[in-house]
């Protein structure tokens, strides 16, 4: 059966990636030779195609794997993540979609230099774009490694290598024109890969009369379950629980011996196994809260330190962070007009709302049927493990292969968009543009996070992507809002704000990755700093700009006219 799972998974993944490559080759309609072809597909993408591609870029490792894992652990509190991210497109639509499209530039770095008349501001924004993109690429590598490790038992580096090979092949061959068609195809495939197994699992759960995940008790094993521990883990046992241990528990070796795990903390060594009977309480990894089902299903149920602060902070970060994501914002330059860009945003909202129904269902079902993931801490694997757990045999294997292929569609699609955004920024800012500079930038864009992938801490895919949103919200969001709507912004004010806001957000993210999660108010602030840092960034930019108002760019009035006049009038003026 293991061999069948491996063969099915690799066949599904290979088939998907091969189909994506073929679709991309048809979508190019000839080789891409100009900078406009590579960066913005010659501004010729229709709203439907662009909305599908944007939705595909957004449905990354965090959305595909991480959301279900977070719902499994924290419950209703985590539903604010997709709500905040989807609502971020409303903010983008209202505040900056039209103006950015009318500016006529290619990248966010182009916009900063054009609006502020400052070459150093281009470089400052380029640094922010790279950090945001690299934080966003890390969970794509992590997710690819987890997928093949969980489903096929392969080393994590195999997943990394597949993502690198496919992404560079697609991006270097045709840039934005090539990846647009690929991403649009992959969004609908990802939706299908999630929806079909989810519907099947829900039917089985209802037919079998499965347990209710909201019952007022800690999670229990619905059936006899053997949990394999790949790495040493500290456990919290909510109530006295019996299990047969084969390995090392609390420093003592057992060989299939029945052991009483008393309520409290225990340590299980790597490569150990514990077999639990049906109805036994599920031990939790020490960083995961133990919650009753009714508390888990209630917003602000107490699964985290200072949940109200954390929820509002992450909601603000996701809401405003969407605005500065370079691989999303560059998409609006590919539309034929500002009106088409606004229509694209509306379609994106509909598509994401449809998609997010399914990871939520997986998270709830995982609490009933794969509660051992709360013990191992491998919550990102919820979507991958569930099909085989509820549907044994060949049908479950086929569903697992479909989900794994959908997961790789998420990794590849998002990675393509990020690599194009970073490569465009680097090529325009460092090498002066051109196709050769773009290709060099693409290699750099994917190499840097690849070298860091082996050093990731305990953060899951969603946690890493949330860091990228936070950095964006604390740096590029204030720059874009003030740059579009306030003529008084100066290069010194904008640069100081980027340094303060972006620096604080990056420092908080690196502290979590290197030092692990912290507790109390300090830990809550490090985990979700947006609610404090975003207002600080706006304040710094405004105050410093007022103190240096003599440095307002000389062409600011002309720039503001271009940003806010309808495109038809701009064409007549030109």
Q: How many structural domains comprise the chain?
A: 2
Task: Please answer whether residues 107 and 421 qualify as being in contact, where contact means their C-beta atoms are separated by less than 8 angstroms.
Answer: yes
Same domain for 267 and 304?
no
Kindly state whether residue 110 falls inside one of the protein's structural domains: yes
Tokens of 422: 């970073």
In angstroms, the CA 197 to CA 194 distance is 6
Kindly state whether residue 260 falls inside one of the protein's structural domains: yes
Kindly state whether residue 309 falls inside one of the protein's structural domains: yes
Same domain for 121 and 256?
no
Same domain for 527 and 412?
yes
What are the two backbone dihedrals, phi and then psi, of residue 465, each rounded to the nearest 5 degrees? -70, -35
pLDDT for residue 30: 47
pLDDT for residue 275: 93
pLDDT for residue 276: 93
Kindly state whether residue 30 falls inside one of the protein's structural domains: no
Q: Which of 233, 256, 281 is the last residue of a domain?
A: 281
pLDDT for residue 493: 95
Mean pLDDT taken over the chain: 80
Kindly state whether residue 99 falls inside one of the protein's structural domains: yes
Kindly state whether residue 117 falls inside one of the protein's structural domains: yes
Q: For the segment 444-479, what is each residue's pLDDT rounded down to a tens digit? A: 888 888 877 666 655 666 677 788 889 999 999 999
Q: Which of 259, 281, 303 is the last residue of a domain?
A: 281
Q: Which of 281, 314, 346 is the last residue of a domain?
A: 281
Contacts of 85 (CB under 8 A, 6+ apart): 58, 318, 319, 322, 352, 469
Same domain for 144 and 251?
no
- The residue range of the domain holding 143 is 2-20+38-208+295-568
Tokens of 302: 């107490």
Quick one: CA dihedral 509, 512, 514, 515, positive or negative? positive
CATH at 72:
1.20.1730.10
Point out the residues of the chain with pLDDT beneath 50: 1, 27, 30-35, 37-38, 574
Same domain for 254 and 188?
no
pLDDT for residue 6: 54
Kindly state whether residue 27 falls inside one of the protein's structural domains: no
In angstroms, the CA 360 to CA 536 distance is 34
Same domain for 42 and 67?
yes
pLDDT for residue 71: 87
Q: Cite the beta strand spans of 187-302 per DSSP E.
A: 225-229, 233-237, 241-249, 252-261, 264-268, 272-276, 284-285
DSSP code at position 106 = S
Same domain for 381 and 460?
yes
pLDDT for residue 486: 94
Same domain for 349 and 270?
no
Kindly state whether residue 369 falls inside one of the protein's structural domains: yes
Same domain for 251 and 337?
no
Tokens of 512: 């979590």
Same domain for 301 and 349?
yes
Same domain for 422 and 519?
yes
Tokens of 409: 């569609």
Same domain for 277 and 299?
no
């Amino acid at each position: 059966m293991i061999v069948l799972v491996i063969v099915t998974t690799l066949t599904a993944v290979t088939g998907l990636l091969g189909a994506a490559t073929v679709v991309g080759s048809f979508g190019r309609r000839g080789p891409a030779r100009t900078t406009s072809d590579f960066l913005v597909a010659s501004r010729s993408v229709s709203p439907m195609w662009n909305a599908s591609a944007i939705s595909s870029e957004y449905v990354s490792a965090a959305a595909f794997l991480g959301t279900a894992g977070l719902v499994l652990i924290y419950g209703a509190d985590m539903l604010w993540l997709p709500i905040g991210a989807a609502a971020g497109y409303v903010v983008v639509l209202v505040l900056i979609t039209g103006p950015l499209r009318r500016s006529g530039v290619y990248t966010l770095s182009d916009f900063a230099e054009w609006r502020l008349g400052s070459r150093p501001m281009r470089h400052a924004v380029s640094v922010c774009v790279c950090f945001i993109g690299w934080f966003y690429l890390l969970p794509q590598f992590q997710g690819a490694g987890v997928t093949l490790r969980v489903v096929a038992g392969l080393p994590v580096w195999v997943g990394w290598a597949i993502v690198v090979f496919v992404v560079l092949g697609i991006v270097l061959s045709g840039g934005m024109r090539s990846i647009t068609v690929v991403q649009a195809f992959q969004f609908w495939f990802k939706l299908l890969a999630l929806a079909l197994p989810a519907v099947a699992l829900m039917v089985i759960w209802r037919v079998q009369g499965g347990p209710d995940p909201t019952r007022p008790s800690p999670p229990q094993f619905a059936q006899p379950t053997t949990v394999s521990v790949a790495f040493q883990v500290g456990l919290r046992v909510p109530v006295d629980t019996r299990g047969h241990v084969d390995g090392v528990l609390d420093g003592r070796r057992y060989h299939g011996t029945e052991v009483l795990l008393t309520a409290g903390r225990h340590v299980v060594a790597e490569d150990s196994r514990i077999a639990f009977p049906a109805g036994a309480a599920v031990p939790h990894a020490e960083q995961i809260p133990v919650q009753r089902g009714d508390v888990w299903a209630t917003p602000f149920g107490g699964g985290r330190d200072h949940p109200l602060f954390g929820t509002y902070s992450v909601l603000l970060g996701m809401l405003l962070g969407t605005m500065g994501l370079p691989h999303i914002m560059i998409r609006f330059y590919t539309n034929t007009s500002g009106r088409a860009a606004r229509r694209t945003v509306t379609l994106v909202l509909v598509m994401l709302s449809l998609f997010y129904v399914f990871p939520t269902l997986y998270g709830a079902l995982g609490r009933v049927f794969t509660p051992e993931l709360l013990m191992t801490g491998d919550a990102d694997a919820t979507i991958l493990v569930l099909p085989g757990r509820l549907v044994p045999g060949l049908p479950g294997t086929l569903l697992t292969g479909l989900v794994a292929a959908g997961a790789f569609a998420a990794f590849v699609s998002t990675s393509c968009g990020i690599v194009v955004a970073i490569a465009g920024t680097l090529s325009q800012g460092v090498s002066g543009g051109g196709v050769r500079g773009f290709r060099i930038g693409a290699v750099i864009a994917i190499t840097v996070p690849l070298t860091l992938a082996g050093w990731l801490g305990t953060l899951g895919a969603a946690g890493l992507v949330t860091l990228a949103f936070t950095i964006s919200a604390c740096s590029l969001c204030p720059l874009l809002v003030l740059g579009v709507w306030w003529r008084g912004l100066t290069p010194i004010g904008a640069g100081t704000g980027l340094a303060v806001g972006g620096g604080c957000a990056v420092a908080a993210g690196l502290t979590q990755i290197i030092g692990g999660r912290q507790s109390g108010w300090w830990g809550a602030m490090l985990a979700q700093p947006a609610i404090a840092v975003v207002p600080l960034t706006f304040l710094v930019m405004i105050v410093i700009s007022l103190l240096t108002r003599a440095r307002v760019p000389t062409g600011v009035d002309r720039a503001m006219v271009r940003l806010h006049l309808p495109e038809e009038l701009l064409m007549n003026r030109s």
